[in-house]
Amino acid sequence: MKPIRTKRGSSSGNPELSGGGDIFWHQVSLAKRFCLNLSPDRNAKLAIVSGGREKCAQNYNVEREGFPFYCIEFVASGEGYLELGKRKYILTPGTVFSYGPGVRHVMRSSSSSPMVKYFIDFAGRNAQGMLSRISLAPGSIRKTFDTGQVLKYLEEIIEHGSRGSRNAQGICDALLECLMLVLDEKMMPYKKSEGRSAVPTFLRIKEHMSKNYARTDDIRKIASECGVDVTYLCRLFKRFEHESPYRHILRLKMNDAAKMLQSDDLLIKEVAEKCGYNDQYQFSRCFKNIFAISPASYRRLAVRRG
Q: Can you name the CATH fold of 198-305?
A: Arc Repressor Mutant, subunit A (1.10.10)
Q: Of 226, 225, 230, 181, which Cα lies nearest the Cα of 201?
A: 226
- Section 273-288 average pLDDT: 94
Distance CA 132, CA 139 (A): 10
pLDDT at 152: 95
Q: Is the pLDDT of residue 118 over 70?
A: yes
Cβ neighbour number for residue 304 with a 10 Å cutoff: 7
Half-sphere exposure for 96 (CA within 13 Å, toward CB): 26
pLDDT at 195: 53
Higher pLDDT among residues 76 and 8, named by residue:
76
Q: Tell me the average pLDDT of the chain.
A: 86
Cβ atoms of 65 and 47 within 8 Å: the answer is no
Q: How confident is the model at residue 203 (pLDDT cuts 50, 70, 90)?
A: confident
Please report, for residues 85, 226, 268, 286, 304, the alpha-carbon distance to residue 291 in angstroms, rounded to integers and kept in the order given.
Answer: 43, 29, 15, 9, 17
pLDDT at 112: 86
pLDDT digits (tens, 9 = 90+) for 73-111: 999 999 999 999 999 999 999 999 999 999 999 999 988
Q: Which residues contact 131 (CB under 8 A, 6 or more apart)?
A: 70, 72, 98, 137, 138, 140, 180
What predicted TM-score, i.e. pTM, was given to this entire model?
0.69
Burial 268-302 (b: 16+ CB within 10 A, else e): beebbeebebeebeebbebbeebbeeebeebbeee
pLDDT at 21: 34
Cβ atoms of 97 and 73 within 8 Å: the answer is yes
Distance CA 18, CA 21 (A): 10
For residue 184, give the DSSP letter: H
- Section 253-263 average pLDDT: 92
Rg (CA), the chain: 23
Q: Do domains 28-189 and 198-305 have the same CATH topology?
A: no
Half-sphere exposure for 19 (CA within 13 Å, toward CB): 17
Q: Is the pLDDT of residue 306 over 70?
A: no
pLDDT at 26: 62
Higher pLDDT among residues 199 and 141, named by residue:
141
pLDDT digits (tens, 9 = 90+) for 214-247: 999 899 999 999 999 999 999 999 888 888 999 9
pLDDT at 2: 34
pLDDT at 28: 66
Q: Is the pLDDT of residue 4 over 70?
A: no
Q: How confident is the model at residue 305 (pLDDT cuts 50, 70, 90)?
A: low
pLDDT digits (tens, 9 = 90+) for 170-180: 999 999 999 99
Q: Is the pLDDT of residue 197 over 80?
A: no
pLDDT at 302: 74
- Section 156-174 average pLDDT: 94
Q: Is the pLDDT of residue 304 over 80?
A: no
Q: Is the pLDDT of residue 50 over 70?
A: yes
Cβ atoms of 128 and 138 within 8 Å: the answer is yes
**Burial class of residue 207 (count of CB atoms within 10 Å of its CB; 0-12, 13-18, 19+):** exposed
Q: Domains of the chain: which residue ranges?
A: 28-189, 198-305
Q: Of 165, 170, 140, 152, which Cα lies nearest the Cα of 53?
A: 152
Q: CATH classification of 28-189, choosing from 3.10.580.10, 2.60.120.280, 3.30.420.340, 1.20.1090.10?
A: 2.60.120.280
